[in-house]
Amino acid sequence: MRAAQRADSPPAPDWVFRPMRWAQLTLVEDDPPKFDLGFWLDYFKRTRSDAVCLSAGGCVAYYPTDVPFHHRSQWLGPRDVFGELVAGCRKLGMVVIARTDPHATYDDVRHAHPDWIAVDAEGKPRRHWASPEMWVTCGLGPYNFEFMTAVKREIMHRYRVDGIFINRWDGSGMCHCEHCRRNFRDAAGFALPATTNPQDRARRAYILWRQRRLFDLWRLWDHEVREINPDSCIIPNTGGGATSSLDMKQIGQLAPTLIADRQGRRDLTAPWANGKNGKEFRATMGPKPIVGIFSVGVEEPYRWKDSVQSEAEIRIWVADGVANGLRPWFTKFSGTLHDHRWLAGVEKIYRRLARWEPYLRNQAPLAGIGLVYSQQTAWFYGGDRASARVEDHTLGWYQALVEARIPFEMVHDRLLDAEHLAPFKTLILPNLAALSDEQCRQLRAFVERGGGLVATHETSLYDEWGVRRPDFGLGDLFGVRFAGRLQGPMHNAYLRLEHQTARGHPLLQGLENATRIIHGVWRLEVEPRAPLPNRLVTFIPPYPDLPMEKVYPRIARTDIPEIYVRENTGPGHPPRGRIVYFPWDIDRAYWEILSVDHFKLLRNAVLWATREPSIVTVTGPGVLDVTVWRQLRSFTVHLVNLTNPMMMKGPFRELLPVGEQTVVLRLPTGAKVRRVRLLAADKTPRTRLRGQSLTVVVPSVLDHEVVAVDLANQPA
């Protein structure tokens, strides 16, 4: 399916929707005489890879370049290794894109063009942190705008590749070179900022100016390569979630396809993080193809680039990406292999995905819940602490929604218009602190149309620049006023469950036996705008946690509500959406503490706000990431089995099958089922159709099962 192109977007090359399985071979400088070309071409064929990214130039040229200062591999000799690879891959019918990396260069460049080198805050040119004989280049000056433009033109002229992928193109931290200082002063009227505080005027201007420079660079490169080959494009390595630095809305307009570069787990990355990347990109890319890079090696800060990861870990990482709409891209650095153990595993994954291909050509996800993310909140409210103040709230929600098996999409906060929100019944605002008046108006309109809203903590308490408002922008929806104080970090604070006044409210489902549960860590003091008919949960203030003799509540009970639920259906009012507001950091605390009680509140809030059952429910043991998709003539439900002792701290050692799951899919009116298959098991499952409700029994899931429902017709 072709994405509708906006008037301000360049046209998509014809090939972008074709490839489903990507290969990347990143050569190292001494590869040319050593690596086995035939081996790689054979591996691409055996893996059914239909597109490839090959090292061409930038840091090292793998072809006989004529661009001055474009450094040829010292081992290249008379050969054109890049050209040989391109020819071989073309013979296999593959889409071929060239890889360039402009972030580092050599002494001769530094002598001839000292202004191409990045400069640190002390005014010194920057040596490369990992290869100290090299220099770091400036991403925003003539090195990229002139030299790398010439490199790209040469590659496109000689090889007419389908596109050029640019790694590390956006600079390596802030640059203080003469161009950056002058260009920023000319554009913004400030010296380069000396602080990372986003409330500093120069810093704010820099955050925006850097983006403008990079989007200008992108457009320049894209224009130059399309002038030579109109059916090509530039693919910068960029994009991500709230904490990424380039505006995803603009990226979504510019890019006909994009590569999500999250190669594997490190530290406490959850196994669903690859799928999260897919959702974040899709929020602004829509149905344009999004490719997910995965590494075959260990991805920790120590960067063992020649290592091999366990097969189980690679499988689950790829599975979660595929289930979330990513087209996989394996990456291997070095054409000469030091460890062969990954080859068979990746081949197995790719051959299976090739068999599933018709069911992976998704048209649209069918999830009705949207988890909103906000880069402006990260940039202007989060600043240096964006991962704790912004992203951790999202991660808490993500974990809770996966555990609750609620299919959901991510939504970009600059795309809250009615058209973009049409698929959603409920939006989740995880501490979306920085929202403009216009964004608040759009959210209000969503609720007026009947949409549900679940919001936490400081949502809308700041404007789009991260400046505190006197009161919430969405206070009328939440039913509260800000009382002026942020309290925390709290030790030993609790919530009292008010079962008597709650009278069996669904928000407290599963907590019937609890009289008090733990509170979060940060709370806002707020006051209700009108008397509350029913308190669900009230505040028990913190009390000493030591000495043990002193650990008793000083105030056992208050009447301060800590959850606000609203359902505005008074007589004469049009039906309006349900709203749940938590003045505290339940989502962030959930990510930190993983309290089961908090999980229940998060899950219940979404279910209650949504009014109607999810399009798919999956019951059975374990932790599954559940996604649901529509293809041209089928529906698919993906079940990715994350149940593993190594779920919260990888890598997986082995895949452990999870037992029977009952999948109930609510088919749209008019959809007629022709056949149901389990793709991984390669079996026809037990099914039952009652009305539009299709029940499928999945006996077991090892890593990834797909329930494929073929339709006899094409439902509206």
Under the rule (CB under 5 A), what is the footprint of Zn ion? 138, 141, 175, 177, 180
- For residues 437-447, one letter each, b for 16 or more C-beta atoms within 10 angstroms of the residue's C-beta and e for the rest, the string is eebbebbbebb
Min dist CB 173 to Zn ion, Å, is: 11
Q: Which residues contact 656 (CB under 8 A, 6 or more apart)?
A: 641, 643, 644
Query: Regarding beta strands 452-456 and 480-487, do their DSSP bridges make them parallel or antiparallel, or are they unpaired?
Result: unpaired
- Which residue's CB is nearer to Zn ion, number 36 or number 178? 178
Q: Please give the torsion angle defined by the CA atoms of residues 23, 27, 33 and 34, in that order, rounded to the nearest 10 degrees.
A: -70
Min dist CB 129 to Zn ion, Å, is: 17
- Which residue's CB is nearer to Zn ion, number 141 or number 328? 141
The amino acid at residue 254 is: L
Min dist CB 140 to Zn ion, Å, is: 5
The amino acid at residue 497 is: L
Min dist CB 136 to Zn ion, Å, is: 10
Give the sign of the dihedral formed by CA 582, CA 588, CA 592, CA 596. positive
Min dist CB 181 to Zn ion, Å, is: 8
- Which residue's CB is nearer to Zn ion, number 13 or number 141? 141
Q: Contact 680/630 with Cβ under 8 angstroms?
A: no
Q: Say which residue the tokens 């007629």 belong to.
A: 672
Q: Which residues contact 444 (CB under 8 A, 6 or more apart)?
A: 474, 476, 477
- Which residue's CB is nearer to Zn ion, number 171 or number 325? 171
- Which residue's CB is nearer to Zn ion, number 145 or number 543? 145
Q: Which residues contact 592 (CB under 8 A, 6 or more apart)?
A: 392, 396, 521
In which region does residue 57 sit, left (phi positive, over 0), alpha (psi from -120 to 50) or beta (all else)?
A: beta
- Which residue's CB is nearer to Zn ion, number 207 or number 490? 207
Min dist CB 137 to Zn ion, Å, is: 9
The SS3 call for residue 410 is strand
- Which residue's CB is nearer to Zn ion, number 138 or number 565? 138
Q: Say which residue the tokens 């360039």 belong to.
A: 100
- Which residue's CB is nearer to Zn ion, number 117 or number 646? 117
Six-digit token string for 581? 């507001």
Candidates 468, 408, 462; CA nearest to 439 is 462
Distances from the Cα of 333 to the Cα of 94, 298, 309, angstroms: 20, 12, 14
Peptide bond into 583 cis (omega under 30): no
- Which residue's CB is nearer to Zn ion, number 141 or number 368? 141
Cα 98 to Cα 162: distance, rounded to the nearest angstrom = 8
- Which residue's CB is nearer to Zn ion, number 210 or number 282? 210
Candidates 260, 319, 398, 300; CA nearest to 644 is 319
Min dist CB 57 to Zn ion, Å, is: 21
- Which residue's CB is nearer to Zn ion, number 181 or number 469? 181
- For residues 345-376, one letter each, b for 16 or more C-beta atoms within 10 angstroms of the residue's C-beta and e for the rest, the string is bbbebbebbeebeebbbbeebbbbbbbbbbbb
Min dist CB 247 to Zn ion, Å, is: 21
Min dist CB 199 to Zn ion, Å, is: 24
- Which residue's CB is nearer to Zn ion, number 141 or number 383? 141
Min dist CB 179 to Zn ion, Å, is: 5
Min dist CB 222 to Zn ion, Å, is: 22
Cα 180 to Cα 191: distance, rounded to the nearest angstrom = 10
Distances from the Cα of 523 to the Cα of 345, 478, 518, angstroms: 48, 15, 13
- Which residue's CB is nearer to Zn ion, number 141 or number 382? 141
Distances from the Cα of 639 to the Cα of 256, 278, 652, angstroms: 29, 16, 17
Q: Which helix (H) or strand (E) holds 370?
A: strand 369-373
Min dist CB 248 to Zn ion, Å, is: 24
Cα 296 to Cα 25: distance, rounded to the nearest angstrom = 12
- Which residue's CB is nearer to Zn ion, number 141 or number 321? 141
The amino acid at residue 216 is: D
Quote helix, strand, coil % in the chain, to nearest 5: 30, 25, 45
Min dist CB 143 to Zn ion, Å, is: 8
Min dist CB 383 to Zn ion, Å, is: 22
395: exposed, middle or buried (Cβ count in 10 Å: 0-12, 13-18, 19+): buried
